[in-house]
Structure 1
């Protein structure tokens, strides 16, 4: 496994922890409450594909499969799986999440959750 690929996995997992912490800390708030309820009803337990890219969203270099369960996103697999891509995310955004976690945890409106809103119809 090359170092860049290995780094992407660690970066993705740390970023996912930040997202889940923000969701957990704000799950009863106006921003997250409705989104979590809708997500649980529409995509709860389903596989969601994630494509990580450097500069161009149309040319991802790494893939992950997540599922939304118990009000959190959890990693199921690394690599391109069967689910359609639900979230295209830049490596720079993941790095910013990891480098500045409190900015996102304290202000969850900064999280890139448009992909999730689109999937659940909120």
Structure 2
């Protein structure tokens, strides 16, 4: 029953925050932004089917990107498996809904990419952001 449509289901809001940072490029510093979510590094542990709703901060939207031969709607999950479904939650790409069906329990890693609506600047998470699930 754990993966059936009748199983209990949880919905969780995941706040996404964007902070200024410096990057080193060509021997100098460049102002940029970094994406953080959950308790900085994710913390998205679930024991039963859960819908996570990632919410972009004001002035930003989720950015569709290519990674590992697949198109991702603002959030990627690795290792990729059938436990997760990821889709934009609205036409303006202000939300992404990630469903965890909880069929397997091991650490997954997430990559979030957002776009500044006014400038087109892209910001991303550190790709080591994970759920720490049953390490």
TM-score by length of 2: 0.28
Relative contact order (C-alpha < 8 Å, sep 6+): which is higher?
A: 1
The structure with the largest strand share of the pair is 2
The structure with the largest helix share of the pair is 1
TM-score by length of 1: 0.30
Q: Which has the larger radius of gyration?
A: 2
